[in-house]
């Protein structure tokens, strides 16, 4: 009876280790693909690791915030983002603001015009959540020619 219990424990532990290593592989692969601009491949790999990794959840939320390989869904992005322990990441409104800046950076890397249809909703949601740009944030806006876009956002509560 003891041998059966020990064998079962060892088998379960082995399965857990293989399971965890597999998800770590997907997480790492997804992160590298994201950094290389291979967003759809990254999305597929990241979604496999999202429930076991804070980093994967943080990255997965970015897909929905920016509309990368999925329809932009800021509410879903916020829900995913909230699953990440807050001591490790910026507040949601700061994150949303910088997701908009990241869309602009990607556009600049690709020599494309800014995708205002993706940037404006991120800035609007950040402002709705009481985000106020400090000097560093204003510098980012100016650097990416988004100052007027951010300042002209009006919304109804």
Q: Confirm whether 156 is domain-assigned.
A: no
User: What domain range is 58 assigned to?
Assistant: 2-88
Q: What CA–CA distance (Å, rounded) separates 30 from 52? A: 14
16 and 80: one domain?
yes
Are residues 73 and 105 both part of a single domain?
Answer: no
- Specify the pLDDT at position 21: 47
What pLDDT, on a 0 to 100 scale, did the predictor assign at position 103? 95
Own/partner contacts of 28-36, CB < 8 Å, gap of 24 or more, are 30/56, 30/59, 31/55, 31/56, 31/59, 34/59, 34/62
Do 102 and 141 lie in one domain? The reply is yes
8: tokens are 């079962």
Final residue in a domain of this structure, among 88, 114, 143 = 88
Q: Is 36 helix (H, G, I), strand (E, B) or coil?
A: coil
Both tokens assigned to 46? 């990241």
Could you say which of 88, 118, 133 is where a domain stops?
Answer: 88
115 in the same domain as 62:
no
pTM of the model: 0.79
Number of domains, the chain: 2
pLDDT at 51: 76
Mean pLDDT by 10 residues, the chain (157 residues): 70 52 68 87 86 84 94 96 79 94 91 91 95 95 94 74
| Co-location of 78 and 18 in the same domain | yes
* pLDDT number for residue 10: 65
At 60 the pLDDT is 92
Q: Do residues 82 and 103 share a domain? A: no
The pLDDT, as a whole number, for residue 61 is 94
Verify that 79 and 102 share a domain, yes or no.
no
If asked whether residues 58 and 108 sit together in one domain, one would say no
Last residue of a domain, one of 88, 122, 142: 88
């Amino acid at each position: 009876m003891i041998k059966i219990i020990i064998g079962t424990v060892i088998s379960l532990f082995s399965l857990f280790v293989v399971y965890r290593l597999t998800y770590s592989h997907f997480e790492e692969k997804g992160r590298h693909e994201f950094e290389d601009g291979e967003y759809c491949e990254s999305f597929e790999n990241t979604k496999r690791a999202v429930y076991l990794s804070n980093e994967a959840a943080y990255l997965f939320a970015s897909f929905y915030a920016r509309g990368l390989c999925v329809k932009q869904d800021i509410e879903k992005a916020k829900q995913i983002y909230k699953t990440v322990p807050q001591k490790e990441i910026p507040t949601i409104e700061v994150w949303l603001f910088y997701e908009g800046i990241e869309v602009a950076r990607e556009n600049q890397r690709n020599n494309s015009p800014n995708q205002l249809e993706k940037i404006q909703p991120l800035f609007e949601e950040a402002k709705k959540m009481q985000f106020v740009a400090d000097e560093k944030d204003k510098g980012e806006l100016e650097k990416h020619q988004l100052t007027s876009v951010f300042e002209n956002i009006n919304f109804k509560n």
